[in-house]
Structure 1
Amino acid sequence: MLTGLSRLALEVKYLEPARQFYAETLSLPVREDGADECVLAAGETGLVLRRPESVPRGGLHTHYALSIPAAEYDEWWDRLSADYDLEEARFGPSRSLYLYDPDGNCVELGQRDVAGPGIDGLFEVVLEVESIDRAREFYEALGFRTVDVGDDRKRVRLDGPMALELWEPHLGIADGRGGVHVDLGFETEDPAAVREAIGDRVDRVERETDDELVVRDPDCHWLTFRRSGPAAER
């Protein structure tokens, strides 16, 4: 049903230090640059930095993960550890490093099977939710599949266009937290099918056309589903 993650938006208090962190420290290409919003490229996914001037605002204290080629991991560690207090976690044979951006978002750089060079995709987003069961039901209706449940049942991991973790409030690796009022954009072949699948589970429908559906999920995260193709969302 969903064919890709087109956008993750983060709220930033001051645009310039956020832009510098992502464009210079993490070497993400800038797609668009404005007075209140900057869009960078994390592979095919747009990473939006947005001042809180309107709604949707962009996520606060969002934990998310960027893909780097496995062979570049040590280079990234050496590069970032000079200025940041990094934390490392292992997942089977793969390693991830964690650091914080200027606005308190927990950024993970994880070894993935990507071409690179540098950051080449966004593979995980963590949302804070009030009820795991309610949120899980909503995202499974969108085609996500549960692949792991935490021992304390305060988190679940789902697989879809990217990995989606749903966390009831708690601290994760590197004291990361799930994001609140996160703004996600997805590509889909059929927005009408998305609307039918989620039914009345949404908190609110913001906009609905033949090519685009914008809703707030049960925890008030903003979700945009745009028809894939030449007019797909940035």
Structure 2
Amino acid sequence: MLSGLRWLALEAKYLDRAREFYATHLDMTVVREGNGEVVLDAGETDLVLREPGEVPRGGVHTHYAFAAPPDRYDAWYDRLDESFDLTEFDFGGAKSLYFYDPDGNCVEIGSVGEGDADITEVFEIVLEVEDLARAESLYRSLGFEVVDRGDQRRRVRLGGPVDLELWEPQLGIADARGGLHVDVGFAAEDPDAAAETVRDRVCEVERRDDGVRVRDPDGHYLTFQ
């Protein structure tokens, strides 16, 4: 039903500062900018930095992960270790490093990318949810599948066009938190059908020129294109 992640939007208090952070430390280039937002190239995914304003806002204190090819991971670690107090975690075959951007988002780089780029895509997003069972049911109806559950049954990891972690309020690795009012865009074979699948589970459905946008019960916006 959903075939890819088109964008992840983050709220930035100061756009110039956020743009400089991602350009300097992660070598990201600007795709376009204007109307209170800057869009950066993150491989297969756009990373959108957005000033506070009209909804949908970008996510706040969002934990998300970039994929890097395994042979680039050590270079990323050495480079970022010069400027940040990094946290590293070994998942048994894949490593990830964690650090924070100026707006309090926990940025992860994992050694799971495929391709030639230093960063190939956003491969994971963590959403904070109030009711885990309700959120899991909604996203499973869109084709996501459960791949892991937390020991305390307060989080679930779903596989799909992007890995989604649904967390009840808590701290994770590197004291990361799930994002609030996160705005994401998905490629969909049939945007209207995707929206119709969750119509009775979401708070809002809006037909737009660029697709169909819904708002889930936890305030996260999903656009199907």
Q: Distance in 2 between matches of 1:211 and 1:54?
A: 18
Please give the alpha-carbon distance, in whole angstroms, between the structure 1 residues aligned to 2:113 and 2:47: 20
Moved more, 187-196 or 49-58: 187-196
Q: Deviations over 1:14-49 (max 9, x none)?
A: 011100111121011210123621000111111000
Match of 2:30 in 1: 30
CA RMSD of superposed structures (Å): 1.2
Does the alignment pair 1:59 with 2:59?
A: yes
Structure 1 position 225 matched with structure 2 position 194:
no
Q: Who is 1:155 aligned against?
A: 155
Distance 2:209 2:183 in 1: 21
Distance (whole Å) between structure 1 residues aligned to residue 64 and residue 28 of structure 2: 15
Q: TM-score, normalised by structure 1?
A: 0.93
| Residue in 2 that maps onto 1:76 | 76
Q: Is the 8 A contact 1:170 1:177 kept in 2?
A: yes
Deviations 1:74-133 (A, max 9, x none): 111111111101000111111000000000000000001412331111100000000110
Aligned 8 A contact 2:33 2:39 in 1: yes
- 1:213: which partner in 2? 212
Counterpart of 1:232 in structure 2 is: none
Structure 2 counterparts to residues 1-234 of structure 1, below 5 A? 1-34=1-34, 36-205=36-205, 207-208=206-207, 212-226=211-225
- Partners of 1:198 and 1:66 lie apart in 2 by 28
Contact 1:29–1:40 (CA under 8 A) maintained in structure 2: yes
TM-score by length of 2: 0.97
Match of 2:165, as an amino acid?
E
Query: Secondary structure in 1 aligned to 2:18?
Result: helix
Assess if the C-alpha contact under 8 Å between 2:195 and 2:214 holds in 1.
no
Matched residues, number: 225
Gaps (5+ residues) in structure 2? none
| Paired-residue identity, % | 58
| Corresponding residue SS for 1:112 | coil
Q: Is the 8 A contact 1:191 1:225 kept in 2?
A: yes
What residue ranges of structure 1 are gaps of 5+ in the alignment?
227-234
Q: Is the 8 A contact 1:191 1:211 kept in 2?
A: no
Runs of 4+ in 1 over 4 A off after TM superposition: none
Contact 1:132 1:155 in 2 (8 A): yes
3-state DSSP class of the match of 1:92?
A: coil
Contact 1:65 1:122 in 2 (8 A): yes
C-alpha contact 2:157 2:163 (8 A) present in aligned 1: yes
